[in-house]
Amino acid sequence: SAMLAGCRRALPGALRLALRGRAAEGRRAVSTSWCPVGAAFDAKQHRVSAAGRETGLFGVPELSCPEGFQEAQDKALQESEQLVQKACSTPPGPEIVMIFDQLSDALCRVADLADFVKIAHPDVAFREAAEEACRNISTMVEKLNTDVELCQSLRQLLADEVVMNSLDPETRRVAELFMFDFEISGIHLDEEKRKKAVNLNVRILDLCNEFLIGTQLPIKIDKHILPEHIWHNFTAEGNYLQVAGLHADCPDDLVREAAYKIFLYPNAEQLSCLEELLASRNSLAQLVGYDTFAHRALQGTMAKNPETVAQFLEKLSDQLSERTQKDFEMMTKVKMKLNPQNSKLMPWDHPYYSGVLRAERYNIDPGLYCPFFSLGACMEGLNSLFSQLLGISLYAEQTQRGEVWSEDVRKLAVVHEKEGLLGYIYCDFFQRPDKPHQDCHFTVRGGRLRENGEYQLPVVVLMLSLPHSTKNTPTLLSPGMMENLFHEMGHAMHSMLGRTRYQHVTGTRCPTDFAEVPSILMEYFANDYRVVNQFARHYKTGQPLPKNMVSRLCESKKVCAAADIQLQVFYAALDQIYHGKHPLQKSTTEILKETQEKVYGLPHVPNT
């Protein structure tokens, strides 16, 4: 997912305006519709409301059918028109910032929700309706980002020193961020160029969707191309086989090699889409006054500019290089032992043989660990951790009919011991056909202080791809799955606890390079015996996970860590070159080959 940049969805689907009172909504005691979180995930059937009252997705009444997206979109666009008029006629003061935030919220409430539904809903009609709504709202957002009159109302506020000095720091910061969105969208350009910027933004959005869909399409081949003894690894369709991924964990070298070469075989449409996407991003950046798209994308982050990123990657790469070479040598030795005829280390070998090394050196076969990590136990572990650290409890809440898109989705209420209900997390944890294999966090609704003094509760979705429970066995997680669950829960807690007056900066709506900090912090808790010991119990015997097994697991993470980080450095370096100086001197594939061999160290495979 790092390679597909799909993990950006771990951050909010917030578009910039960029789509980009009371502390809690009634201090609710524990509701009668809530039940303990662990039990809800080990239960076979999800409970819907006994009353059976119909509603729409996420409790939005319009979204009981795909056509409801048109209605929700029209309402949002109508509300935004009224707010634009209001902003343009309001004198400089804090109310301007509040109106801008309401405007951002009105659009994001539909766009963020649609951003999730368009990739995750099992019904194609819902996905298509959501995609159309996303596109229309995004077009409106880009138009607003180049609306001179709207910008002028904000500029007057920022220019009024007396009023600005009277604002609290949060309001001042949000006002500056809204102005930043205008500036990077080309508000300073003449009318013709502003229109061009809007059209480029919309085209980029379409190309992004097209490219991401293309990366996930299975490849169909005549099965006779491959040796018969490996056919069973792929989905058969008559005389054809479907290769739907890299099969990185498969112990058969030939299967991994075949999957890699077939799944990554050049696709003319996909390459053309990528080239147009990169060229369009560069045109947009230069049109609005940046040297490259990388300069535009990094402004406002902790890294600030491509030069800082390049220095960081270079320094990191220098310090890793010797250790990475040692890691590759260790993997080569293991491969030589298991496959003497073909011992050269190739890109499809790295994930598999680093796993073999870890398992061999520390005896960490996932099968030994899974029985201790039932999903229910892990959720109780998170609940206990949040209670001790933050005074927060998670409760499973009944859903109404129509509120969720799949019957195995669970809804969690996040409740603070003093503040009451903080928000909701919808847990879409289980595999299903056509669901993306991507672990990520979506903001569906941002928190903010409403005009009536009540707090608009945040709503998020966590999406994982866990196996279903069986008749005799609950859902069991591998150590990697458990760590991913903790990571994504870090994003969810960031969304619940990052309570701000304005939704434009709520939760994970922060600099993108900071947004991973709370989630990565949670990984440290997932690898600490003092935490794991509180919840890891064998699902049959109740026996706790032995301390030495936790120690072995933690130590094993250091094996091949340099090579793993070097791979991420390669992805990052490639990203910087693609979004750096244009026109690119070579094709995207030639740049990939050159960067892979220089930065990563394993050879590029021809025709990938």
* Sheet of 240-243, strands arranged across: 219-222, 240-243, 235-237
| Alpha-carbon gap, residue 69 to 61, rounded angstroms | 11
- Residue 263, domain member (yes or no): no
pLDDT of residue 2: 30
| Alpha-carbon gap, residue 150 to 89, rounded angstroms | 10
| Alpha-carbon gap, residue 408 to 405, rounded angstroms | 9
- Closest by Cα among 311, 360, 313 to 335: 360
pLDDT of residue 13: 32
Which of 188, 208, 229 is at the close of a domain? 188
Q: Which two tokens stand for residue 158?
A: 């920022």
The CB density around residue 338, as the number of other CB atoms within 10 Å, is 12
Contact 37, 383 (CB under 8 A): yes
Flag whether pLDDT at 1 surpasses 90: no
From residue 125, alpha-carbon distances to 60, 67, 69, 519 in Å are: 17, 9, 11, 33
| Alpha-carbon gap, residue 153 to 417, rounded angstroms | 42
Q: Which residues pair with 235 in a beta bridge?
A: 242
Q: Helix crossing, 350-362 with 561-578: angle to 10°?
A: 160
Flag whether pLDDT at 31 surpasses 70: no
Flag whether pLDDT at 10 surpasses 80: no
pLDDT of residue 337: 93
Select the more confidently predicted residue: 12 or 184.
Answer: 184
- Average pLDDT, integer, range 560-582: 97
Which of 143, 172, 188 is at the close of a domain? 188
pLDDT of residue 33: 66
| Alpha-carbon gap, residue 403 to 408, rounded angstroms | 12
| Alpha-carbon gap, residue 205 to 135, rounded angstroms | 8
Three-state secondary structure readout of 33-59: CEEEHHHHHHCCCCCECCCCCECCHHH
Backbone angles phi, psi at 420, to 5 degrees: 90, -150
Under DSSP, the state recorded for 544 is: B
Flag whether pLDDT at 35 surpasses 60: yes
pLDDT of residue 49: 53
Contact 384, 15 (CB under 8 A): no
Q: Helix crossing, 169-184 with 148-159: angle to 10°?
A: 140
- Residue 530, domain member (yes or no): yes
Active site residues: 488
pLDDT of residue 430: 96
Q: How many domains does the chain have?
A: 2
List Cβ neighbours of 141 (8 Å cut-off, separation of 6 or more).
15, 16, 17, 18, 19, 107, 111
Strands (E), 391-539: 392-397, 410-416, 420-430, 440-445, 448-449, 455-456, 459-466
CATH number, position 515: 3.40.390.10
pLDDT of residue 40: 81
pLDDT of residue 50: 46
pLDDT of residue 531: 96
| Alpha-carbon gap, residue 599 to 568, rounded angstroms | 10
Q: Which two tokens stand for residue 505?
A: 């900066």
Alpha helices of 264-349 — where are they, by DSSP H?
A: 268-287, 293-298, 306-338
pLDDT of residue 5: 31
Alpha helices of 464-605 — where are they, by DSSP H?
A: 479-497, 517-526, 529-532, 547-556, 561-578, 588-595
pLDDT of residue 38: 76
pLDDT of residue 52: 58
120-159: per-residue pLDDT in tens?
999 999 999 999 999 999 999 999 999 999 999 999 999 9
List Cβ neighbours of 455 (8 Å cut-off, separation of 6 or more).
21, 22, 23, 24, 25, 447, 448, 449, 499
- Residue 64, domain member (yes or no): yes
- Closest by Cα among 327, 441, 375, 563 to 1: 441
Flag whether pLDDT at 43 surpasses 70: no
End-to-end CA distance of the chain: 18
From residue 227, alpha-carbon distances to 231, 233, 255, 343 in Å are: 7, 11, 10, 20
- Average pLDDT, integer, range 380-396: 97
Q: Which two tokens stand for residue 558?
A: 């250091």
- Residue 415, domain member (yes or no): yes
pLDDT of residue 42: 72
The amino acid present at 101, given as its one-letter code, is D
Q: State yes or no: cis peptide before 61, omega within 30 of 0.
A: no
402-440: per-residue pLDDT in tens?
999 999 999 999 999 999 999 999 999 999 988 888 899
Reduced to 3 states (helix: H, G, I; strand: E, B; else coil), residue 401 is strand
467-511: per-residue pLDDT in tens?
999 999 999 999 999 999 999 999 999 999 999 999 999 999 998
pLDDT of residue 210: 94
Contact 126, 114 (CB under 8 A): no
- Closest by Cα among 251, 250, 255, 265 to 228: 255
Select the more confidently predicted residue: 441 or 29.
Answer: 441
Q: Is the dihedral of CA 335, 337, 338, 344 positive or negative?
A: positive
pLDDT of residue 535: 96
271-316: per-residue pLDDT in tens?
999 999 999 999 999 999 999 999 999 998 999 999 999 999 999 9
Which of 509, 526, 544 is at the close of a domain? 544
* Of the candidate ranges 187-196, 378-387, 549-558, 588-597, the one whose mean pLDDT is the lowest: 549-558
- Residue 163, domain member (yes or no): yes
The per-residue b/e assignment along 94-116, b for 16 or more CB within 10 angstroms, e otherwise, is bebbbbbbbbbbbbbbbbbbbbb
- Residue 214, domain member (yes or no): no
List Cβ neighbours of 528 (8 Å cut-off, separation of 6 or more).
none
CA atoms in the 13 A half-sphere facing the CB of 131 = 17
Name the burial class of residue 145, with classes exposed (0-12), middle (13-18) and buried (19+) by CB atoms within 10 angstroms of its CB: buried
- Residue 396, domain member (yes or no): yes
Domain boundaries, position 392: 370-544
567-577: per-residue pLDDT in tens?
999 999 999 99
CATH number, position 119: 1.20.1050.40
Q: Which two tokens stand for residue 155?
A: 């500029």
- Residue 305, domain member (yes or no): no
